[in-house]
Amino acid sequence: AQTVTQSQPEMSVQEAETVTLSCTYDTSESDYYLFWYKQPPSRQMILVIRQEAYKQQNATENRFSVNFQKAAKSFSLKISDSQLGDAAMYFCAYSPSNTGNQFYFGTGTSLTVIP
């Protein structure tokens, strides 16, 4: 069974500081994709960043970057220069590439940004 674990239900960060959200996953697949989604209070799910497992290089999108450790099955999200608008629930998700259609989400981390 595929599982995604986010062990930090809540995190907080001072504005302009850096915060790292953790995610681990369990899979026997060798090729898959990992995602971080943001869900603000509006409930709209927004893709933040994605990583393909066969790529060694960590993905980066502006202030958002990941630390992908394939052997450890770890996929953490780093948010630099945190802004008030970053406050949201963050979900880690996994999808095996052999189906392209099964997506598994973690339980989420609620991020508070302190002014």
Pick 14 or 107: Cβ nearer another protein: 107
Q: Which of 41, 62, 71, 100 binds another protein (CB under 8 A)?
A: 100
Q: Of 80, 83, 68, 9, which Cα lies nearest the Cα of 33?
A: 68
Q: 31 to 70, contacts with another protein by CB under 8 A?
A: 33, 35, 42-47, 50, 52
Q: Which of 19, 59, 77, 93 binds another protein (CB under 8 A)?
A: 93
Query: Does position 91 bind another protein by CB under 8 A?
Result: yes
Residue 30 phi, psi (nearest 5): -100, -20
Query: Does position 83 bind another protein by CB under 8 A?
Result: no
Q: Is 15 left (phi over 0), alpha (psi -120 to 50) or beta?
A: beta
Q: Are 39 and 24 in contact (CB under 8 A)?
A: no
